[in-house]
């Protein structure tokens, strides 16, 4: 499986009747995008904004972030299995991508969906100031704010929003080329990436593999499939910063690839779904994941995850089982202290009272922390708000609305979890990541 | 004290000393997939196991299973 990625860096976003990319300027025709999205009768309205890093803008009601990619040659369609794309196996041929640019989809959660999905919380992205600590504050966006039919049921709402987002991304047509192939490297240590991905307990939504979202036993993906969008987020679960952009820009893939054939032989990524409901299921998933790694003759494993809470049980059981199979295992994780706690200088020295990890096993003895993220001060007022006007911090009380443009003391407003999109930084992309440790 | 938990390893690591293995995170003390009478029997066995655990002296976190008839195992 050979994939060439052609990258088109976007430094300026322009509106014009002739779409295309020329020397760093990406031109987009907003009228074309508007009419394409409004073809769907489930969509009632659309607003299009341009957002750039460093400007005093706060983006709210983030539903997904999608990096436009297009297959120039090779089988299938990027982001397969969703938004009407066929489920053909991807990862071969040539794919073009934009860099530093993404389509950002905004839409306020409908009241009945807030009640049905506790993880459909409100989130925000500050493009400047103390809240601009995640990678999502560094991208340039075509922000599309969608108003849907208010009566849509959960899965239909998700499908309508996600299809709109991918249709917009498909409209963006972007000569550096980078080749990706797992050429056999027989003399080097064999390393597997165990890619633990949360599956939603609510049927029909959540992160999907070729659009397949239910809990399932582990499967093996070639990293090129992931680069072509085989893993994609939904438009519902914003917490804890899940989006489609993240999966194709996962720093784990982009760091393992240059080492393949030099320091190690990367045998692929085992997708292990997490948040099983029973201990027996958690054990079965962990044991089968380790068995696959063993059958791949892995000598080392890098375990990552993308959620929190009880998902850590099967992740830790997986680490334990890998070590028992003689596979030396490293775990890359954020520390679980994701509550909004102001990061005072004293707290930075002593830590908070929260245990760093909810659950652990003695075999997990090589852990790389991506840190804990908390802004040092309340977020200041912003000049512009994109995506809506108000935020809801208590899912149970959607009637209590906070104007998004003013200053936000997150510690007071949101006691439970940080509403900063991507704050739960499992892969270490934020400015307070392990790079500073 | 006794805890009926879907995830006994977590409860025991947190220091709970009597832990009864529950069914599932979504339904710890019953199983909606069973018929009403089988579900009722399961729930009864869970409560009996929890009461037996409560009567059992322990010196460290210990797991009790419904299948053990509440007698418990470590």
pLDDT score for A435 = 46
The sign one gets for the Cα dihedral A411, A412, A415, A421 is negative
Q: Which residues of B touch A198 (CB under 8 A)?
A: none
| Across A285-303, average pLDDT | 98
Of residues A412 and A153, more confidence is placed in A153
- Tokens representing residue A134 in the block: 């995640």
pLDDT score for A321 = 98
Angstroms from A217 CA to nearest CA on chain B: 18
Inter-chain touch B25–A277, beta carbons under 8 Å: yes
Q: What percent of chain B has pLDDT over 90?
A: 84
Contact between B50 and B4 under an 8 Å Cβ cutoff? The reply is yes
Helix axes A311-324, A279-295, angle to 10 degrees: 40
- Tokens representing residue B36 in the block: 């009403």
Q: A253, A6, A5, A243: which is closest to A141 by C-alpha?
A: A243
pLDDT score for A410 = 85
Task: Give residues with Cβ within 8 angstroms of A51, minimum separation 6.
Answer: A57, A59, A104, A127, A140, A141, A143, A386
pLDDT score for A433 = 57
Residue spans of the domains in chain B: they are: 3-68
Distance from C-alpha of A83 to C-alpha of A140, rounded to nearest angstrom = 23
Distance from C-alpha of A319 to C-alpha of A272, rounded to nearest angstrom = 12
Nearest to A310 among B21, B23, B25 (CB): B25
For A128, list phi and psi in degrees, rounded to 5. -155, 165
Indicate whether A225 pLDDT > 50.
yes
Q: Establish if B44 touches chain A: CB-CB under 8 angstroms.
A: no
pLDDT score for A182 = 87
Distance from C-alpha of A16 to C-alpha of A33, rounded to nearest angstrom = 12
Give tens-digit pLDDT for A7-19.
899 999 999 888 8
Q: Is A79 left (phi over 0), alpha (psi -120 to 50) or beta?
A: left
Q: Establish if B32 touches chain A: CB-CB under 8 angstroms.
A: no
User: In terms of C-beta density within 10 A (0-12 exposed, 13-18 middle, 19 or more buried), how is residue A331 classed?
Assistant: buried
Structure confidence at residue A339 as a pLDDT band (50, 70, 90): low
| Across A308-326, average pLDDT | 96
Structure confidence at residue A195 as a pLDDT band (50, 70, 90): very high
| Across A79-106, average pLDDT | 94
Inter-chain touch A201–B7, beta carbons under 8 Å: no
Structure confidence at residue A436 as a pLDDT band (50, 70, 90): very low
Interface test with chain B among A201, A215, A279, by most B beta carbons within 10 Å: A279
The 8 Å CB, 24+ separation contacts for A395-400 are A395/A114, A395/A115, A395/A118, A395/A120, A395/A121, A398/A111, A398/A114
Indicate whether A434 pLDDT > 70.
no
Alpha-carbon A203 to chain mean position: 19
Helix (H) or strand (E) holding A120: none
Q: Which residues of A touch B13 (CB under 8 A)?
A: 359-360
Structure confidence at residue A342 as a pLDDT band (50, 70, 90): low
Of residues A417 and A222, more confidence is placed in A222
pLDDT score for A413 = 85
Nearest to B7 among A201, A279, A360 (CB): A279
pTM (2 d.p.): 0.86
Task: Give residues with Cβ within 8 angstroms of B20, minimum separation 6.
Answer: B2, B3, B4, B5, B8, B46, B49, B50, B53, B63, B64, B65, B66
Give tens-digit pLDDT for A24-53.
899 999 999 999 999 999 999 999 999 999
Q: A248, A255, A221, A251: which is closest to A233 by C-alpha?
A: A248
Give tens-digit pLDDT for A152-175.
999 999 999 999 999 999 888 654
Q: Which residue of B has its CA nearest to A309?
A: B10
Angstroms from B22 CA to nearest CA on chain A: 9
The sign one gets for the Cα dihedral A405, A239, A354, A138 is negative
A390-391 and A402-403: which strand pairing? antiparallel
Inter-chain touch B7–A358, beta carbons under 8 Å: no
Distance from C-alpha of A164 to C-alpha of A420, rounded to nearest angstrom = 24
pLDDT score for B71 = 43
Please tell me whether residue A286 adopts helix, strand or coil conformation.
Answer: helix
Inter-chain touch A278–B10, beta carbons under 8 Å: no
Cβ neighbours of B40 (radius 10 Å):
12
Distance from C-alpha of A192 to C-alpha of A194, rounded to nearest angstrom = 6
| Across A357-377, average pLDDT | 84
Structure confidence at residue A425 as a pLDDT band (50, 70, 90): confident
Inter-chain touch A277–B13, beta carbons under 8 Å: no
Which residue is associated with the tokens 């007698």? Answer: B71
Inter-chain touch A278–B24, beta carbons under 8 Å: yes
The per-residue pLDDT of chain A, averaged, comes to 90
Strand order, beta sheet including A101-106: A43-51, A140-148, A101-106, A62-66
Q: Residue A90 is part of which domain span?
A: 2-436
Structure confidence at residue A343 as a pLDDT band (50, 70, 90): low
Q: Establish if B10 touches chain A: CB-CB under 8 angstroms.
A: yes
- Tokens representing residue B74 in the block: 């470590």
Angstroms from A318 CA to nearest CA on chain B: 14
Distance linking the first and last C-alpha atoms of chain B = 16
| Cis peptide bond N-terminal to A128, omega within 30 | no
Inter-chain touch B10–A313, beta carbons under 8 Å: yes
Q: What percent of chain A has pLDDT over 70?
A: 91
Which residue is associated with the tokens 């073009």? Answer: A96
Mean pLDDT by 10 residues, chain B (74 residues): 95 94 95 95 95 94 78 39
Distance from C-alpha of A146 to C-alpha of A48, rounded to nearest angstrom = 9
Our count of domains for chain A comes to 1
Question: For the residues of A50-103, what is the DSSP string, one character each?
Answer: EE-TTSSEEEESEEEEE--EEEEESSS-SSTTSTT-------SEEEEEEESEEE
Cβ neighbours of A95 (radius 10 Å):
25
């Amino acid at each position: 499986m050979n994939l060439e990625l052609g990258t088109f860096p976007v430094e300026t976003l322009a509106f014009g009747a002739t779409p295309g990319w020329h020397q760093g300027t990406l031109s987009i025709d907003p009228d074309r995008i508007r009419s394409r999205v409004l073809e769907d009768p489930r969509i009632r309205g659309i607003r299009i904004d341009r957002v750039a890093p460093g400007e005093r803008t706060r983006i709210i009601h983030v539903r997904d972030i999608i990096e436009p990619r297009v297959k120039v040659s090779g089988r299938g369609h990027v982001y397969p299995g969703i938004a009407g794309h066929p489920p053909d196996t991807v990862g071969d041929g040539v794919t073009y991508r934009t860099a530093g640019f993404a389509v950002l989809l905004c839409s306020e959660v409908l009241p009945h969906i807030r009640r049905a999905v506790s993880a459909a919380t409100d989130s925000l992205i500050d493009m400047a100031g103390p809240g601009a600590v995640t990678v999502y504050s560094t991208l340039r966006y075509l922000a599309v704010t969608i108003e849907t039919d208010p009566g849509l049921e959960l899965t239909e709402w998700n499908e309508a929003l996600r299809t709109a987002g991918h249709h917009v991304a498909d409209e963006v047509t972007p000569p550096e080329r980078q080749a990706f192939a797992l050429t056999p490297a027989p003399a080097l240590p064999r390393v597997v990436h165990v890619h633990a991905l949360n599956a939603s307990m609510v049927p029909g939504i959540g992160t999907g593999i070729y659009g397949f979202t239910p809990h399932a036993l582990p499967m093996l993906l070639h990293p090129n499939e992931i680069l072509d969008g085989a893993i994609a987020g939904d438009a519902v679960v914003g917490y804890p910063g899940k989006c489609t952009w993240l999966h194709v820009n996962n720093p784990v893939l982009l760091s393992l690839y240059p080492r393949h054939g030099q320091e190690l032989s990367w045998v692929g990524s085992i997708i292990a779904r997490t948040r099983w409901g029973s201990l027996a299921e958690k054990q079965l998933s962990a044991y089968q994941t380790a068995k696959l790694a063993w059958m791949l003759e892995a000598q080392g494993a890098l375990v990552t995850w993308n959620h929190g809470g009880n998902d850590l049980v099967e992740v830790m059981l997986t680490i334990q089982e890998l070590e028992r199979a003689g596979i030396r295992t490293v775990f890359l994780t954020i520390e679980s202290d994701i509550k909004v706690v102001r990061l005072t200088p004293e707290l930075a020295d002593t830590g908070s009272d929260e245990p760093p990890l909810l659950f652990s096993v003695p075999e997990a003895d090589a852990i790389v922390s991506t840190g804990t993220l908390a802004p040092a001060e309340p977020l200041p007022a912003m000049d512009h708000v994109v995506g809506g006007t108000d935020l809801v911090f208590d899912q149970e009380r959607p009637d209590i609305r906070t104007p998004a443009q003013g200053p936000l003391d997150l510690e007071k407003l949101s006691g439970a979890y940080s509403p900063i999109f991507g704050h739960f930084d499992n892969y270490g992309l934020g400015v307070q990541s392990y790079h500073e440790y | 004290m006794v805890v009926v938990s879907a995830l006994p390893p977590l409860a025991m690591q947190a220091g709970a000393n009597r832990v009864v293995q529950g069914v599932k995170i979504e339904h710890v003390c019953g199983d909606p997939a069973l018929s009403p009478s089988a579900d009722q029997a399961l729930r009864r066995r869970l409560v009996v196991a929890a009461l037996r655990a409560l009567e059992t002296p322990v010196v460290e976190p210990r797991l009790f299973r419904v299948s053990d008839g509440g007698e418990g195992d470590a």
